[in-house]
């Protein structure tokens, strides 16, 4: 195994450990903002962008439980979803147009979720 593959494998294992730890933390207490965010990042980093997507949506819905950290959690989730997760999930073998359509559909889904679960003013 070359150094690059070994590093990638070690990184994936680290993300799996983080993922498990964040799951434990959220089972104990659904309020931790950091665990909600890192669950998304770890799922993505461990090679499961679909799970990361689901975790991002769950984190958005649960954010008000984080009290005064709710808004910063939502900002962080929104940034990660739009800058990292959607582009990764939309990348497909095929045309640029297909990837662009997939990204647009995911952005629309994300925006709909945010609108439905926005914090009342």
Distance between CA atoms of residues 98 and 28, nearest Å? 41
pLDDT value at residue 29: 84
Region 63-74 average pLDDT? 93
Residue 4 has pLDDT above 70, yes or no: no
Q: Is 101 left (phi over 0), alpha (psi -120 to 50) or beta?
A: alpha
- Interhelix angle for 33-45 vs 70-80, to 10°? 10
Residue 3 has pLDDT above 70, yes or no: no
Question: Under CATH, which architecture does the 3-116 domain have?
Answer: Alpha Horseshoe (1.25)
More confident residue, 8 or 2: 8
Q: What pLDDT, in 10s, does the model give residues 73-107?
A: 999 999 999 999 999 999 877 788 899 999 999 99
**Residue 115 to residues 25, 97, 105, 108, 111, Cα–Cα distance (Å):** 27, 27, 15, 10, 6
Quote the pTM value.
0.86
pLDDT value at residue 76: 97
* Closest of 76, 68, 102, 67 to residue 55, by C-alpha: 76
């Amino acid at each position: 195994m070359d150094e690059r593959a070994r590093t990638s494998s070690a990184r994936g294992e680290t993300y799996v450990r983080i993922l498990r730890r964040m799951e434990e933390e959220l089972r104990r207490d659904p309020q931790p903002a950091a665990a909600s965010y890192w669950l998304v990042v770890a799922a993505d980093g461990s090679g499961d962008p679909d799970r990361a997507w689901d975790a991002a949506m769950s984190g958005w819905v649960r954010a008000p439980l984080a009290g005064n950290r709710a808004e910063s959690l939502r900002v962080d989730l929104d940034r990660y979803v739009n800058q990292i997760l959607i582009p990764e999930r939309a990348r497909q073998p095929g045309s640029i147009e297909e990837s662009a359509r997939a990204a647009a559909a995911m952005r629309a889904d994300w925006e709909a979720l945010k609108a439905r679960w926005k914090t009342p003013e």
